[in-house]
Chains A and B, each alone.
Chain A
Amino acid sequence: MGHHDEYIVHRSKIFTPAFFGLLAVVIIGFYYIGVRFVEGIGAVTNLSDGYPWGIWITYDVATGTAFACGGYAVAILVYIMNNMKYHPLIRSAIVTSLFGYSLAGFSVVLDLGRYWNMYGFFMPNRWQPNSVLFEVALCVMTYTLVLAIEIAPAFLERLIYSEKKRFMTIKKAARWIYPRLDKALIFFVVLGITLPTMHQSSLGSMFIIAESKMHPLWHTGLLPLLFLINCIFIGYSMVIFESTLSSVGFRRNLETREIAGLSKIIPILAAAWLGVRFYDLINRGHLADAFAGDFHSWMFLGELLLIAGGAFILSWRAYRNSPRMVFIAAIMLVIGGGWYRFNVYLIGYDPGAGWKYFPSLPEFMITLGLISFEILGYIVFVKLFPIMPKPHKVHNPGVESPVK
C-alpha cells in the first residue's frame, strides 16, 4: 500500500534492566507451566468441577484478546472508514494484537486437559457448528495467522533494506514476495476485520448457554453485541495507552494528532455500549438488581463507573487536549471494559452452593509470566523491525529508507 515509509525501527539497547526484570517473571511462570504438564491442572490451579474455567480463560483469553483488539479497531478506522491519518498507528497495534492473541492461544493449550487431541479441530467430521467454542477456536486460530501475515511486510522490509551482504537469496526472495504480498494484503486486512467481529461477539455468546448459572445482571441474549462494542472501545483505549507508554518509555514524541482523534470516537462507542446495557437491563426487568447494594451490584457499578467515567472525561475537548487526562481515561476504559468481561466469565458465574474459586499463586504466576512474555516480545520486536510510527517532523517520504 506504499506506506512502508511511515514506520521506523526503534533503535536502542535490547538488554535493559526492564528486560531482565520481565525475564525473571517469565521464568517463574514457565516453571509452573512445567509443573502443570507433569502433575496435571489440579496441581497448580484452584479450579474445580463447579468452576472449570479460571483466570487463564477469563483473563488470558476473554479479556486479553479484547486488550489485543487495537489492530482490529484501528483497521476498521483506516480501511473501512478510510481515515488514513491513523495508518501510522496500525503496525504497533497489530504487533500488540499478534502478541495478545498468541498469548491467548498459548493459554488455551495450557488450559486444555487433553491438548494432544487438538488436531480434532482440523477434522471436519468432528466439527460441531452448534458449539460457540468451536466458532471461537477456529476464528481465533485463523485470526492469529492473519495477524502474522499482516505484520509480514515489516519482516520483509527489514530484510530488503538490510545492508549486510549475507543471505542474498533470502533477500532476493523477500524482494520478490514484498510487492506481491502488498497487493494481496488488503484481502487479509479485511479478513482481519471480519474474524474479530465474529469471535469477539462469540466470546460473549459463550455464556448464553450457562443461563441458570449466570447472575441476571450479566446473562442476556445481547451478550454478543455487548462483547463486540466492548472490544472496539477497549481496542482504541489500548492504542492510546500503548502509544502514550511507548512514547514515554522509548522517549519518542507523542502521536498527539492520532490520539486526539481516537479520543473523540471512544465516547460514542462507550455511550452506545451503555445504551445497550441499560436498554437490556430495563427490558428484562433487572435494573433494580444493579442498585441492590449487594456484591454483584457493586461489581456491576464498578464496571459501569469506570467505563462511563472514562467516556465522560473524553467527551470534553479540554480534557482531550491533555495527554495526562486522555491516558487516565484510556486506563479507566481498559480496566472497566476488562472488568465487564471478568464479571461475565467469573464473578457473575455461580454454579451453585458449595463451589468457590479464587486463583492459586501458580495460576497467577503463569498468567503474569505470559503477560511479561508478551511485553518482552513487544519491546524486543519494535527494536528489531520497523513497527513504530515515524515521528511527524520528518516529512520527506521516499528519501530515507525505513531501516538504517
Chain B
Amino acid sequence: MKNSSRRDFLKLTGLGAASLMASTASASEGVKLGENDVGMFYDATKCVGCKACVAACKRVNDMDAVPAPNDEDRLWDAPGKLDYRTRNIIQLYKEDEETWSYVKHQCMHCVKPGCVSACPVTAMMKDERGIVYYDKDKCIGCRYCQIACPFVIPKFEWPKAFPKIVKCDLCKFTNLKEKGIPACCEVCPTEAVIFGKRSDLLAEAKRRMETEPEKYQEKIYGEHEIGGTNVIYLAPQKVNFAQLGFPELETHSYAAFSENIQHTIYKGFIAPVALYSLLTFVAIRNRKKNDGSEDEE
C-alpha cells in the first residue's frame, strides 16, 4: 500500500503534461493534483511575526476577538491558537537567541482532503482551484471532519447553541473574490506568505532551497505529506517542522486509503445487493424446509 501510493505520488508530482497524464492514471488511488490548484507558500525565515495576517484575516472574514487574560476592558484581540474565532495564527518557537522561528498555521488545503472525504453531507468541499471550503447550510455538525483532519484544523463553536465549523477557505468568499488574493498574503509586509498556483509556489520554494541551502531545512513541508497539500512551507535550518507543530505524516493519502477500503468492500453497492439476494435465497429455502416439517407434525 505504502509503496504503491508513493510510486503513484512520484508520478503525480511530475511536471506539466506528465502530471496531467498521471492525474488521470491515478484516479483510482484518489489523489488528483489539479492543474489549476492554488495555494500559499510560507517561508518561515522571512516572517517577522507582526501578525498583520492574523488581523487582516479576522477583519475580512468577520471573526470575533479573543480577549487576553486580565484584559478587563476587552480592548485586545489576543488569540494564542487556532479556534472558532481564529482561522489563521502566527506562533513562535524559541529555544534560545539562535534557535527560533515564527510559524503560520491555518488550513493546509490538502490535495486529497480528509475532511471532504469524511463529510457525509458534502458540507466540506473542494473547488476547481483546490480550495477546501465549508457550507454551514449543509453541515449537520457531526465533527467527523475534525476526526479526519491530521492537522486538527476544522474548529467547532463549542460554546454556542447553534454552532458551526470554522476553517480557512483562502478568503474564497471575501478577499479572494474581491481582490484576487487571500487577506493574509495581501497584507504580509515581508512576503513571508505568498499566494499563487501550487506548481509555481513549489518551484519557487525549490529555487530558494537551492540558492541558499544553508538557510533552510532540507524539506518542503506539504510537498508529499498525505499526498500533498496546497499550502507549502519552508523552515529555517535550526528549527525542524515537528518543533513548529507539524505532524510527521506519511506520503500516502489517508483519505484515499479509507475510500479504497470502503469501495473495495462495497464495489459500488453491488456487494450489499448480492449479499441481500444470497441471504434471501438461503432464508426462504430454510423457511420452506421448516414449513414442510411443521405440516408433517
Contacts and interface: CB of A to CB of B under 8 A. Distances in A.
Interface string B232-273: 000000000000000101100011011101100110000010
B121 A134 contact: yes
B164 A198 contact: no
A12 interface: no
A43 B161 CA distance: 9
Contacts of B162: 114
A221 B120 contact: no
B117 interface: yes
B138 A49 contact: no
Interface in B4-40: none
Interface stretch (A32-40, A149-157, A313-321): A32-40
Nearest to B252: A211
B142 interface: yes
Interface in A202-222: 202, 205-213, 221
B118 A194 contact: no
> A-side binding surface: helix, strand, loop or mixed?
helix
A120 interface: yes
Contacts of B294: 2
A391 B204 CA distance: 80
Given A2-B294, A49-B156, A212-B150, A120 B262 contact: no
- Give the size range of B's interface with the partner: 35 or more
B98 to A, nearest CB: 24
A102 B287 CA distance: 29
Contact of A131 (B120, B266, B276, B280): B120
Nearest to A223: B261
Contacts of B261: 205, 208, 221, 224
Given A2-B294, A39-B161, A210-B147, A120 B140 contact: yes
A37 B163 CA distance: 11
B247 A352 contact: yes
Residue with the highest number of chain B CB atoms closer than 10 Å, among A43, A132, A193: A132
Interface stretch (A182-190, A290-298, A323-331): A182-190
Contacts of A53: 143, 147
Contacts of A121: 120-121, 140
Contacts of B150: 210-213
Interface string B111-144: 0001001111111000000000000111111111
Contact of A132 (B155, B160, B262, B289): B262
B152 interface: yes
Given A41-B158, A80-B279, A113-B156, A208 B146 contact: no
A43 B156 contact: no
A28 interface: no
B265 A133 contact: no
B147 A112 contact: no
Given A42-B159, A211-B257, 6 more contacts: A53-B147, A112-B141, A117-B121, A128-B122, A193-B279, A205-B261
Interface of A: 1-2, 37-43, 47-50, 52-53, 79-80, 82, 84, 108, 111-115, 117-118, 120-121, 126-128, 130-135, 137, 186-187, 189-191, 193-194, 197-198, 201-202, 205-213, 221, 224, 351-352, 355
